[in-house]
Chains A and B, each alone.
Chain A
Amino acid sequence: MSTQTTAGTQKNKKKAASAKKNGQDGKRPNMGELLFGDLWDFHPAPESPDHAKFEKRYGHFINGKFVEGSNYFASVNPATEEVLFEVPTATKEEVDTAVKAARSAYENVWRDMKGSDRAKYLYKIGRAIQEKSRELACLESMDNGKPIKETRDVDIPLVASHFLYYAGWADKLDYAFPGAKVSSLGVAGQVIPWNFPLLMAAWKIAPALATGNTIVIKPAETTPLTMCKLAEIFQEVGLPDGVVNVVHGAGATGAAIVAHPDVNKVAFTGSTEVGKLIGRQLAGTNKRLTLELGGKGANIIFEDAPIDQAIEGVVNGIFFNQGHVCCAGSRLFVQESILDTVVTKLKHRMASLRVGDPMDKNTDIGAINSKMQLDVITNLVNAGLTQGAQMYQPACSIPDRGYFFRPTFFTNVSQSHRIAQEEIFGPVLSILTFRTVQEAITKANNTHYGLSAGIWTDKGSKLFSIAGAMRAGVVWGNTYNKFDPSSPFGGYKESGFGREGGLHGLLPYLEVR
C-alpha cells in the first residue's frame, strides 16, 4: 500500500500496477469522446526562462542595499531538484539592524510623508511589477514549482493589482473608518509562506506601506527568489532606504523578528501551529497581531447544482497550486443522491489534468514545493489509507526528477479521519456525503478551522442561507478559489484573525481612535 503513495518520482507503470492492486486502476471513465493524451501526447510547450535574470547569490536587503550575510543556504527548483541560488541566514544582530533601519525610515521619512507621495511609490512598484511580470512569473515558477500558467495569469497580475489598489488608499485613509482618527503603528514584522511567495509579500507589504508603516519581512526559506527581485524593484523605483527590509532564514529568523522589542506589529501567514507560537510569544506585549493560518475548506455540492461547473470548481478548489492553498476546498461534501455522478465526472476531469514541468504552459499541476512538504502529504495520504478510506489517483505520468504528487481523492471518508480533519496542503481531496441541508452545514462547520467554504446550488435562497451559516471568512457561491485585491480575506476560529485585502485590510496596520 505504501508503495502506492511514497515516491512522487515513481515511474508511471509501477504506479499503475500498484493502483490496480488497490482495485483503483486510475482509468478515465469512458464518456465516448476523444481522449487527449491517450492516443497521442501533447507536445511540450515550455516557457523560456532566458529573459529571467537573477543573481546566484543575494544578501539581506537592509536600508536600501543588499548586504552580505552568513550561513548561506540554497533555494532549490522543486521541479528539477537543482540549486537555483542562495541566500544567507539572518542572525539576531542582522534582524536588529533591519529593524533599526525600518525604525529610522519610519521616523525620518515614511510616517510623515504625504499620503499622495506614498501612493506614488506604491503605484510605481505596481507598474514595475507589471513591466516585469513575465520575468517574475518565470522565477516564481522556478523557485516554487507552481505552473507557469498560474504564476503568469494569477499570481503576478494579482501582485501588481494589489500594489495598485493600495496605492490609492494611501492618501484616502481619513475616509476609511468613519468617525475615527487613524494613524500608523510603526515597524511591522512580517513572516510569509512559500505557497504564493510574491503574492503573500504583496498582501503584506502593500497595505502596510499605504498606511505609513515600515517593514521587516522574511520570505519563506524555500522561496526567497521573487522577494529578492522585488527588493531590486524597490531600488529601481527609489523607495526610500529602510522602508522595506528583507531578511532571510527559517523559523529562527522569523522568531527573532517577532520577538524584537522595537517591532510594533506582527503579521504572519502560515500554519496554525506556528501562529499559536507567535500568539504566545506576543502575549503581554503591546504588539498588534494578525494571523492568516490554516484551513480545511468545505466545498458543498447540492443535487440541484450545475454539476459540470461544480466539477470545475472542485478541481480548481483542490488542485489549484498543487493544493498548497490555505483556503483549498479540501473537503468535498456531496449530496448523497448525486455521489456517483460527481465521482464519475471528477475522475473523468482529473484524467485530463497534466502533472509535470511547471514551466510548460499546458501544465495544470506543478511540483510540490519541497521534499518536506511531499513527505507531509505522503504521510497524511497513508493515514487515509490506514484509516480505511478509499483512494483514487488517475494514471497520469509524472517526471522522474523533482517532487511531484498525483492529484488524488478519497471516498469512504468519515469526519474523524485525519484526512478530513488535518490540513494536507497538497492535491488531495476528501469526499464526504450528506443528505439534508442541516447535515451539510453541521459537517462543514465541524472543524477547528474557518477560512473558506464553497457552495454549489442553483437555488438562490438556499445559497444565501447556507452562506450565512458557514463559519468561514470567505464563502464562494458557485465558484471557488477566487481572489482580488479589493476582496477581504481571512479566517474565523483557528484560521486566524484580521483581514487582508480591501478596505478591511487597512485596519490591521492602523491605530483607530
Chain B
Amino acid sequence: MTETKKKRKKASVAKEPAKAKKAATPANGASDNGSVRLDVAKTYKLYIGGAFVRSERGRYLTQRDAQGNFVANYTHATRKDFRNAMVKARKAQAGWSKRSAFNRSQILYRMAEMLEDRRLVFEEKLQSHAGYDAATASKEVEASIDRLFWYAGWADKYIQVVSSVNPIAAPFFNFSLPEPTGIVAVFSSQTSPLLGLISGIAPVILSGNACITIVENNAPTIAVDFAEVLATSDVPGGVVNILTGERGELISYVSEHMDLNAIAVFGGSDEQRRNIQLGGVENLKRVKLFDDPDAEGWYDDSQQSLYWITPFIETKTAWHPIGV
C-alpha cells in the first residue's frame, strides 16, 4: 500500500523539476513562441506567528544561482519584523511549553512526515535554488528528515535523562527538572539551507521554546519553503518564526532585545559572534555558539546531540518537606 503510494507520488511530482527548469527560462524572456505555459511564481514572504507576511518596510533581496541567474526575490526582514515576531513568539511559547511533551514529540514527528512527503519538492528546490546536484540534494533532504525524526523522539525523553531526584541529607523531597528557557533566536546555518536550518530549530523547540530564526545563506528561500512544512504540521503559529534577511543588520537588535531569552549562533565572523555575546549581556541571555560545518559536514551524527537541547533549558530545583 505504502509502496504504491510512494510510487504514485514520485510519478506525479517527478514532472515538477522539469517544469521548474523550463519555467526559469521563459521568465527570463527566452523564446518559446508562446506554446509553453508560464509558471505562477511563489512570493517568498516571512513566516511570523504562523502566517506568511510581507516585511513592514517592503524591502527585498534577490537570490541568484551560481551563474548569477535570477532565482527569486525574497523578503529582507527589518528590526520591526523581528519585534513583531517576538510578540508572536512570546504569546505562542506559553501554550507550546504547556503542551504535553508527548504532544510536542508528535508534532515534531509530523514535521518529519510532512518533509518526507515533500521530499521531491525540496530536492528540486535545492537544485534550482541552491545549485546542488541531484544526489547531494537527495542526501541533504534525507538527512533533514532523519534529523527531525531523531529530535522528535527526544521531546518526551530528554527530561528524564537530564532531571534528577536529589538525595538531601534531611527529610525533604527534592528534584531538579528542565524547563524551556523561553524564546530563542537562531542565527541559522550559512552553509546548509535545509539541514542546517532544521538542526538549529529542532533542538530548540522540542523542549517548549519558541524560536525566531534569522536566515542568511545562499538559498534563504528554502527556509520559507520549509515554513510550509511547519504550517501543515500542527506546530502552533509563532513557535517557529522565520526571517530572511541580513544577519549583520539584525545582530544588535536581536541580541539586545530585552524579552529574548537565548541565542543560538551557527557560524558567522568572529566579530559577529562577539557582538552577539556582547548584546546578549544586556539581560543575560543564554548565548550558545555553534560551528557551521560545510553542507556535507552537517550530515554527520555529531551534528545532533542531547547537548544541543540543554543550552536552551533552565534547571528548576523544587523542595518540599517530608513528614506528617
Contacts from A to B (Cβ < 8 Å): 161, 177-180, 272, 275-276, 279-280, 282-284, 291, 293, 448, 463, 467-468, 470, 472-479, 482, 484, 486-490, 492-494, 496-497, 499, 502-504, 512
B41 within 8 Å of A by Cβ?
no
A280-B278, A503-B164 are known contacts. Are A488 and B317 too (CB-CB below 8 A)?
A: yes
Separation of A65 and B171 alpha carbons in the complex (Å) = 42
Question: Contact: A284 with B319, CB < 8 Å?
Answer: no
Separation of A284 and B268 alpha carbons in the complex (Å) = 12
Contacts of A488 in B (CB 8 A): 164, 166, 176, 315, 317
Question: Contact: A502 with B164, CB < 8 Å?
Answer: yes
Question: Contact: A161 with B169, CB < 8 Å?
Answer: yes
Separation of A431 and B284 alpha carbons in the complex (Å) = 28
- Secondary structure dominating the interface of B: mixed
B167 within 8 Å of A by Cβ?
yes
Interface string of B11-38 (1 = CB under 8 A from A): 0000000000000000000000000000
Contacts of A272 in B (CB 8 A): 284
Contacts of B320 in A (CB 8 A): 463, 476-479
Contacts of A284 in B (CB 8 A): 270-271, 273-274, 277-278
A484-B174, A512-B307 are known contacts. Are A472 and B316 too (CB-CB below 8 A)?
A: yes
Knowing that A284-B270, A484-B166, A486-B167 touch, tell me 8 more A-B residue pairs with CB under 8 angstroms: A467-B318, A474-B316, A478-B321, A479-B172, A486-B168, A488-B164, A488-B166, A494-B284
Contacts of B271 in A (CB 8 A): 284
Separation of A331 and B293 alpha carbons in the complex (Å) = 48
Q: List 18 A-B contacts (CB under 8 A).
A: A279-B280, A280-B278, A282-B277, A283-B281, A284-B271, A472-B316, A473-B315, A473-B316, A475-B317, A484-B166, A484-B169, A486-B174, A487-B168, A487-B319, A490-B315, A492-B314, A494-B284, A496-B284
Nearest CB in chain B: distance from A325 CB, A: 15
Name the 7 nearest CB pairs between A and B, nearest first: A284-B274, A283-B277, A279-B281, A477-B320, A283-B278, A486-B166, A484-B168
For chain B, which range describes its interface: under 10, 10 to 19, 20 to 34, or 35 or more residues? 35 or more
User: Taking CB as reference atom, which chain B residue is nearest A460?
Assistant: B320
B135 within 8 Å of A by Cβ?
no
Question: Contact: B315 with A497, CB < 8 Å?
Answer: no
B170 within 8 Å of A by Cβ?
yes
Question: Contact: A502 with B166, CB < 8 Å?
Answer: yes
Nearest CB in chain A: distance from B278 CB, A: 4
Question: Contact: B284 with A291, CB < 8 Å?
Answer: yes
Question: Contact: B174 with A487, CB < 8 Å?
Answer: yes
B134 within 8 Å of A by Cβ?
no
Q: Which of A179, A283, A474, A486 contacts B274 (CB 8 A)?
A: A283
Q: Which of A280, A482, A504 contacts B315 (CB 8 A)?
A: A504
Separation of A448 and B161 alpha carbons in the complex (Å) = 29
Separation of A489 and B174 alpha carbons in the complex (Å) = 12
Nearest CB in chain B: distance from A67 CB, A: 35
Question: Contact: A487 with B270, CB < 8 Å?
Answer: no
Nearest CB in chain A: distance from B153 CB, A: 14
B104 within 8 Å of A by Cβ?
no
Question: Contact: B317 with A487, CB < 8 Å?
Answer: yes
User: Taking CB as reference atom, which chain B residue is nearest A512?
Assistant: B307
Contacts of A280 in B (CB 8 A): 278, 281
User: Taking CB as reference atom, which chain B residue is nearest A489?
Assistant: B317
Nearest CB in chain B: distance from A302 CB, A: 15
Nearest CB in chain A: distance from B316 CB, A: 6
Separation of A179 and B176 alpha carbons in the complex (Å) = 20
**Max chain B C-beta neighbours (<10 A), residue from A177, A279, A475, A499:** A279
Separation of A151 and B261 alpha carbons in the complex (Å) = 37
Question: Contact: B318 with A477, CB < 8 Å?
Answer: yes
Contacts of B319 in A (CB 8 A): 474-477, 479, 482, 487
Separation of A473 and B166 alpha carbons in the complex (Å) = 15
Nearest CB in chain A: distance from B301 CB, A: 11
Contacts of A275 in B (CB 8 A): 284
